[in-house]
Amino acid sequence: MALPYHVLKVCDGIVFAARGSNIHSFDSNFNPISVWKYPVKQQETNGEKAESETPAPVVEAEESPAPEGPPVKKRKVEDGEVVAVTEENKEESKEDTTEGQTETKTESQTQEVNRRSRRQKQKQKTEGGWAKNNKAVLEKPFVQGMYLTTDGRHLVAITGSDKTIWVFEHDGAGNLKQLSQRAMPKRPCALALTPDDKTILSADKFGDVFSLPLLFTPAEPTAAADVTTTASEVATPEPTPSAPATPAIPTPPTTDVAKAQSLSVKPQANELTVHTLRNLKALENQKRCLERQKAAKLAAALQASQFEHTLQLGHVSMLTSVAVAVHPSHPGRTYIITADRDEHIRVSRGIPQAHVIEGFLLGHDEFVSRVCIPEARRDVLISGGGDDDLFMWDWVSGKLLGKAPVLAEVKKALPSAEDAEKVTKVAVTRIFDVQQGAKTQIFVICERIPLLLIFTLTSTNTLQHTQTLSLLGNPLDVEYLKAESKLLVSIDPNTSSETQEEEASNGGVSSILALSFDDSESSWKVTIGGLKATEAAEEESSSLSPQDLQKLLYTTESLRKTNKDDE
C-alpha cells in the first residue's frame, strides 16, 4: 500500500508534505530536501517486552530505574495491545533521525512520557476496548495537521493517536529541527497560531481549546523526579502509578490503583447525602482507600503540569476547526473562532478575554468541518461540513450572507448519471483561499470525491462557482505555491481510476498535482511538474491494509450523526 501525502503546507518556496507519520520537504520543483521521521521504536525490543510484561509487573517495576521516571511509553499497536517501549530505545532511534537533540530536551521528553504513561494507565480499560473495535490503529500515528507561523520560522504539527503537538524550527530552506513534543490530555483536532506567533491554540476532541506557548522551556526536571521517587517509596509497597511499572495489559492491582487515583482525595459524598446502608459502607471503604492513596496523589499533583497549557474556552462537542481572526474594522481586536460537530461556530474574544462569547454563527444542519477566513477578505467567513452547501457569514455580526451549493455542483460534474445518483451527501474536508490579483478564489474538496470545486468570492459577498476540475484520484489537501503561482493538490493514488493505472505503468501518476491558472481560458489546468507517485513509492510502503488506510485518511464523514433514534 503506497501512502499518499495527505497533508500539505507551503512556506515560501518550500513544500512540506506529511506522509503517514513522516514529514517530507521539497523545493518548488519537487526535489526532495529532507525528511523528518516520526521516532520509531525497535522491533526486537518490542517483541521482547511484550513477552516479559505480562507475568510479573511488580518485579519489573522494581528493576527499572526510578529516578529517571518511568521509562515506559505505551502506544497502541495494531492488535489493540498496549506495548511498552523503553525510553532508551526510543531515544536511540530518535538520534538516528533527528539532529540536534539537546540533553534538556530528552529529559523533558522523559517527563512527558512519564505523565502520559500514567494517564494512559488510567484509561487503559477504555482504550483497550476502543482499539479492539478499531483495527486501524498504528504503531506510528499519522500527522493530522501542519501549521506555520507567520514568519515561517516554525512549523507545528499534530499527530493523531498519541495526541502530540510537535514544534519544529524551520531554517527557511526546508530543514526541520524538532524543538519540542507535547502530549495533550485529549487528542488535538485542529490548531491555530495567534498573530504574534507566540501562542498555539489547540482545539481538541473533547471540545476544549488550550493555549500553549509556541516555545517552551521544560520544567526543572531533577526536582520533580526526586519528589516522585520519595513519594512512591513512602506510599505503598504496591506499584503505584508513579512507579515505573511496565505491564502492557492492565493487571487487576494496577488498574485498581489507577482507578483510585482518579478519585479526588476528599470523599465527595457524605453521611447525609448517602441514604442506604450499603452505600454508607461503600463510602467508608472509599474513605479508607483514599487515605491510602493520598501520598500517591501528592506526587501526581506535582507531576501534573509538566508544560504550561491553559484552558481558554470549550464546547461540549468535538471541535473540528479553530481560527484566530482579526476583523478589518477593529485591527486591535483578535477573535477565536471554533467550529464543532454539533453544527455550531462560535466567535469568542481572543486571549486574554476568551471567556467572552461574542456570538454564534448558527444555521448549519450538519457538522461543521472547516472554516476559512480568506486572507484578503477578513470580514467574511466561509464554513462547510456535512451540509449540501457552503455557508458564508459576516462573522462579526453573526449574519448569514449566503450559501453556495456543493452537493449540486458535485453531482453536475460527475461523469455518469449513475455516479451522481450514488452521491447523496458530501463532507467538505478543505476550504482554501487563494488571492489572484483582485480575485478571491475559494477551492473546496470533499471527502472521497475526485473533484476540485472552484468558487470566486465576489465583492458583493456571493460565492460564484467558476470551475470544477476532475481529478484522477481523491484529493486530500490543497495548498498554494505563491512564488510559482501553482496550486498543489495531493491525491490519494490508491483511489485512481483504471486509466491512471495505465499511466502508472509509464510512471506518470502524480501524488501531488500542480495546477496553474490559464489566463487565456481563465481556468485552472493541471501542469506538468507535480510529484510523481513512482518517486515516492521507492520508500517503504505501509503494512496497513487498504481498509485501515482509508479509515485513517477519510475521517470527516464519520462526524455525521447516525444514531438518531435513541431515548
CA atoms within a 13 Å half-sphere pointing along the CA-CB vector of 215: 8
Q: Which of 134, 353, 468, 516 binds other proteins (CB under 8 A)?
A: 353
Q: Which of 44, 252, 272, 424 binds other proteins (CB under 8 A)?
A: 272
Q: Which of 64, 134, 462, 527 binds other proteins (CB under 8 A)?
A: 462
Owner of C-alpha cell 507567520: 150
Is the CB of residue 16 less than 8 Å from the CB of residue 479? no
348 touches other proteins (CB under 8 A) = yes
Who's near 257: CB < 8 A, 6+ residues apart? 238, 239, 240, 241, 293, 296
Question: What cell numbers appear for 301 in the block?
Answer: 499533583
Stretch that binds other proteins, among 26-34, 173-181, 360-368, 501-509 (CB under 8 A): 360-368
Smallest gap from residue 219 Cβ to other proteins (A): 23
Q: Which of 264, 416, 424, 520 binds other proteins (CB under 8 A)?
A: 264
Smallest gap from residue 154 Cβ to other proteins (A): 25
Q: Which of 44, 102, 103, 275 binds other proteins (CB under 8 A)?
A: 275
CA 81 – CA 139 distance, rounded (Å)? 10
Owner of C-alpha cell 504503531: 139
Question: What cell numbers appear for 446 in the block?
Answer: 470533499
Positions 373 through 392 that interact with other proteins (CB under 8 A) = 389
Stretch that binds other proteins, among 97-105, 368-376, 503-511, 557-565 (CB under 8 A): 557-565
Q: Which of 132, 198, 288, 330 binds other proteins (CB under 8 A)?
A: 330
Instruction: Judge if the upstream peptide bond of residue 352 is cis by omega within 30 degrees of 0.
Output: yes
558 touches other proteins (CB under 8 A) = no
Q: DSSP string spanning 242-298?
A: TS----SSPPHHHHHHHHHHHS-SS-SS-TTT--SHHHHHHHHHHHHHHHHHHHHHH
Q: What is the dihedral of CA 348, 349, 355, 357, to 10 degrees?
A: -40
Smallest gap from residue 318 Cβ to other proteins (A): 9
252 to 124, 238, 284, 384: CA distances (angstroms): 12, 12, 22, 46
Stretch that binds other proteins, among 136-144, 205-213, 248-256, 544-552 (CB under 8 A): 205-213
567 touches other proteins (CB under 8 A) = yes
Q: Which of 352, 499, 519, 521 binds other proteins (CB under 8 A)?
A: 352
Judged by beta carbon, residue 17 or residue 318, the one nearer other proteins is 318
Nearest to 371 by CA among 322, 334, 336: 322
Could you give the 3-state DSSP secondary structure of residue 148?
strand
207 touches other proteins (CB under 8 A) = yes
Q: Which residues contribute to the site for other proteins (CB under 8 A)?
A: 122, 206-208, 262-264, 266, 268-270, 272-273, 275, 311, 313-317, 330, 332-333, 342-344, 346, 348-349, 352-353, 355-357, 359-360, 362-365, 389, 400-404, 462, 561, 563-567
